[in-house]
Structure 1
Amino acid sequence: MSEKKPDAIADPGPLGLAGFGLTTCVLSSINAGLLPGADIGVVLPLALTYGGTSQLLAGMWEFRKGNTFGATAFTSYGAFWIAFYLLVTHISSLGSATGAGVGMFLLMWGIFTLYMFIGTLYLNRALFLVFLFLTITFFLLAIANFSGSSPSIGGWTGLLTGILALYTSFAGIVNTNANRVVVPVGSSILKPR
């Protein structure tokens, strides 16, 4: 009896990037001062569903496809958005979170993102830029929380990060449907062996 081959699945990358990019743009608009801080409630449903759950699912599908980078990235950032939702919605029951506590939360995500960024040296330039600006964003937001200063610079870099993620998602959708490169993402900086 022959072994049945697993069914092919669609690329979950564009879904994960869209969930990340859209949610990041909305939160970063608040951090940059384009929207008032009182509008944080608009981010929370996105953080739980599109940024959180959709990315978590995309990560599981990346595991299925054998893509370690995509699986680690989408699962982790999906968990980030769910943790963000819980942090904001449960802050009163947890006691007030200090700037240092939130700063440490963001710093550790910055460190994680930095090593994921190094992995993008072997991927396309669009992902390289997403992770470069995400690394910068986390570190700027961590510094703002540690120092008690405005998160606006981190908000602007976060907005750029979200736009780059949406562009990369768009490229994945269009290029897959066209069965050729229509929207460029650029070649990798380093060539895999």
Structure 2
Amino acid sequence: MAQFTAESAHAEPVAGEIANPIPLGLSAFAFTTAIIGCVFAGFILPGVGAAISAAAAAAVVYGGIVQILAGMWEFRKDNTLAATLFSAYGGFLVALGVVLMPTLGIASELNRTNALHPALGLFFLCWTIFSAVLFLASLRNSLALLITLALMFLSYLFLTIGELTGASTGLLIIGGWLGIVCALVAWYTALAGILHSANSTFRLPIGALRV
């Protein structure tokens, strides 16, 4: 069975096969994680008003829909880890984006009843647990993926604790910055895959961990 390894990230399509969806999935992963990280870190986008709208749109359209599509293509390529990662994270981001979308009023209603932060904390807690599952599943895959998932786990762990403790600013900022760093590593991994598939004049190492 195919795995999300250095080889799969660098896989080149052959006749009769679809192209490698991993760079696309990682790019969508990185883009949305960076936007969410910036909102919580207060970097460029303050976590209010239009910033929430931007995060919601990014989560639903690019992070959500595109990652789900990449995940479905990975199922077609029999790559269970990548398929599960992209499909699950895409679904999570769609749900988060729907909650945060101002036009739907869900966040406003939760905020009115003082349930917004506990609800977000529960969202993030569930994803933190699943991030740990994905991390454990990636221990024999590429170092780049391992670092990406470790940073995602830590980011959502801090966001979980921050939200469940009544929106602790310091913890949310740490979680936001960890998300930004996670996005940078994911973009690096996506670039490595694109360069290999395009037969570029230079390559980026992602570190094989299989033993």
TM > 0.5 fold call: yes
Task: Report how far residue 94 of structure 1 moved.
Answer: 5.2
CA distance in 1, matches of 2:155, 2:40: 11
Query: Aligned to 1:37, what secondary structure does the other structure show?
Result: coil
Task: Please give the residue correspondences for 1:1-193 in structure 2 after superposition, counting only pairs within 5 Å.
Answer: 7-34=16-43, 35-38=45-48, 39-89=51-101, 90=104, 91-92=106-107, 95-96=110-111, 97-148=115-166, 149-150=168-169, 151-178=172-199, 182-188=203-209, 190-191=210-211
Q: Which residue matches 1:3?
A: none
Distance 1:180 1:113, change over 3 A: farther
Q: Is the 8 A contact 2:99 2:107 kept in 1?
A: no
Matched residue count:
185
Quick one: structure 1 residues 95 and 26, their matched pair in 2 at CA, closer, same or farther if it must change by over 3 Å? Answer: closer
Aligned-pair distance for 1:26? 1.4
Q: Partner letter of residue 43 of structure 1? A: A
Q: Which has the higher mean CA deviation after the structures are superposed, 87-96 or 103-112?
A: 87-96
Q: Residues of 1 paired with 2:28 and 2:156: CA distance?
A: 18
TM-score (norm 2): 0.83
Q: Give the superposition deviation at 1:44.
A: 2.0
Percent sequence identity is 37
**Distance change (3 Å), C-alpha of 1:123 and 1:156:** same
Across the aligned residues of Structure 1 and Structure 2, the Cα RMSD in angstroms comes to 1.7
Unaligned runs of 5+ in 1: 1-5
Q: Secondary structure at the match of 1:27?
A: helix
Structure 2 unaligned residues grouped into runs of 5+: 1-14
Q: Runs of 4 or more off by more than 4 Å in structure 1?
A: none
